[in-house]
Structure 1
Amino acid sequence: MFDFFRTKKQYQDLSGNAFKQILTENKAAVLLDVRTAGEYRQGAIKGAKNIDIMSADFKTKVAALDPEKTYLIYCRSGNRSGQACNYMAGLGFKNVYNLSGGIGSFPN
């Protein structure tokens, strides 16, 4: 594949430690868990808001968010949250971060 045909990724993947550091240092950051409600109930990062990327109202809920805020987004493995980051960046959200490796990579 030729890299110049790909669009530039408009969000940043972060390690668990880097993700936690931004969350700790930026008190205004919004923590989003994009897993299903069932997954969320099984355990989530403290303070996370659940917006299921697979739900019919995902786009409506995201459209209601402030695009100027910083968003830290995670799921189980980092795939769905990467998709959410990509979608949000495409809407003009400037500060979106994906937890690479998902919730399991978030340090206690």
Structure 2
Amino acid sequence: MNLSQQDWKSRLERDTNSVVLDVRTPDECSDGIIPSAINIDIYKGQGFIHAVEELDKSKNYYVYCKAGSRSAQACQIMNEMGFEHTFNLEGGFMNWKGDVAFSIEE
């Protein structure tokens, strides 16, 4: 599901079963990340699929990339893999107005 920046942020703040997933490249992540995000680079292809398979399907995933298109693709892939609750950040990190961190959890 595509959500506006405000809807994504407000839903995330109220969600006690959330995981923030950054699908950008490590180089892009050096510009900062949304706090508590985990990074799985969608450009890793099959490596992305393997990493996503390890995630808990019962969680709600708030997914973002730089502009919103790769994260939309990631949500679609995850939905096909059985993830029921994926939320794409429209406009991506480049339009993010919330908090930014500069260390990443892997």
CA shift, 1:19, in A, is 0.6
Give the gaps of 5 or more residues in structure 2: 99-106
Distance 2:30 2:17 in 1: 24
Q: How does 1:7-18 map to 2 (within 5 A)?
A: 12-18=1-7
Q: How does 1:40-79 map to 2 (within 5 A)?
A: 40-56=29-45, 57-79=47-69
For the residues of structure 2 that align with 1:89 and 1:67, how far apart are their CA atoms? 10
Normalised to the residue count of structure 2, the TM-score between the two structures is 0.87
Given the two structures, how large is their TM-score scaled by the length of structure 1?
A: 0.85
Residue of structure 1 in register with 2:18 after alignment: 29
Q: Among residues 87, 96, 103, which one is paired with 1:106 in the alignment? A: 96
Match of 2:104 in 1: none
8 A contact 1:17–1:106 mirrored in 2: no
Provide the secondary structure at the position in 2 that maps to 1:45: coil
How many residues are treated as equivalent by the alignment?
Answer: 97
Amino acid at match of 1:106: W
One-letter code aligned to 1:79: S
- Contact 1:20 / 1:107 at 8 angstroms: preserved in 2? no
Alpha-carbon shift at residue 103 of structure 1 (Å):
1.0
Task: Percent identity, please.
Answer: 40
Q: Which runs of 4+ in 1 moved over 6 A?
A: none
- Segments of structure 1 that go 5 or more residues without pairing to the other structure are 1-11
Residue identity in the other structure for 1:64: E
